[in-house]
Structure 1
Amino acid sequence: MGRLLQAGVLLASTVVLAGGVLYVRRHFGSSVDYRTFAGEPANLRSISGLFRLLRAGDPAAVIQLGAILLIATPVARVVFAVVGFALERDRFYVAVSLIVLAVLAASLFFSS
């Protein structure tokens, strides 16, 4: 389980670093206006828009993918815990892990 977390964080960090390098390369020398706030484009807030931007090679989409991978790492760990406890036939820890998974899913899908 620890290796899963290490691999997930390493993969997410690598993807974010690659996206950051691409972002700096694309926007090198451009000036930034710090007086106005510009949020993320709507395409980066949906899965379909993210994949469309990834296919186009948008560096911000690569960084966003790295952030999603970082969020998915502990969720994958809980899923593997459910499977592991189910294989061991430990019903109590399967139930506890499913509750944790439900809380994680609720926080991801119902947050504002």
Structure 2
Amino acid sequence: MNKLKDTDIQSAIGWVLRIGVFLSIGIVLFGGTVYLYRHGNEIADYHTFKGVPDFVRTGADILHGILTFRGRAVIQGGIILLIATPIIRVLFSAVGFILEKDYLYTGITILVLLIIFISMLSGHAG
């Protein structure tokens, strides 16, 4: 049985980052195209601030908007994927450290993940 090398893990993490970034770019471009196709001829009204539409406020609303091909929801989904890409990278790092049986770095990586998730859930950054 071949032993997993550090370069194999680094290569996999690099591919995770590349795929995440390129996939999110593609999703945002697709969403922008859908949005421009449907709303490209509208005249923008900048006299009143409308804020974020209701269908992109929660995860379920964004998912429903993506499934119904609403341009702004698709763009929002691509941005969420872009934000999630480094978090997925940290998850892959933790798995790699577990496979290498490097328990110090596994603990540090899990601590970083906990800090990220606590920050996301609490709404406090830093």
What does residue range 1-112 of structure 1 map to in structure 2 within 5 Å? 1-111=13-123
Question: CA offset at residue 42 of structure 1?
Answer: 2.7
Larger radius of gyration between Structure 1 and Structure 2: 2
The SS at the match of 2:117 is: helix
Aligned residues: 112
- Distance between the aligned counterparts of 1:36 and 1:99, measured in 2? 44
The SS at the match of 1:38 is: coil
- Distance between the aligned counterparts of 1:45 and 1:88, measured in 2? 40
Percent identical = 39
Letter of the aligned partner of 1:67 in structure 2? Answer: I
- Distance between the aligned counterparts of 2:103 and 2:121, measured in 1? 26
- Distance between the aligned counterparts of 1:55 and 1:81, measured in 2? 32
Gap regions ≥5 residues in structure 1: none
Letter of the aligned partner of 2:35 in structure 1? Answer: Y
More contact order relative to length (CA 8 Å, sep ≥ 6): 1
- Distance between the aligned counterparts of 2:33 and 2:56, measured in 1? 18
The SS at the match of 1:30 is: coil
Question: Could you list the runs of 4 or more consecutive aligned residues of structure 1 that deviate by over 6 angstroms after TM superposition?
Answer: none
- Distance between the aligned counterparts of 1:6 and 1:54, measured in 2? 23
Letter of the aligned partner of 1:51 in structure 2? Answer: L
Q: State which drifts further: 14-23 or 26-35.
A: 26-35
- Distance between the aligned counterparts of 1:108 and 1:14, measured in 2? 25
Structure 1 counterpart of 2:9: none
RMSD: 1.2
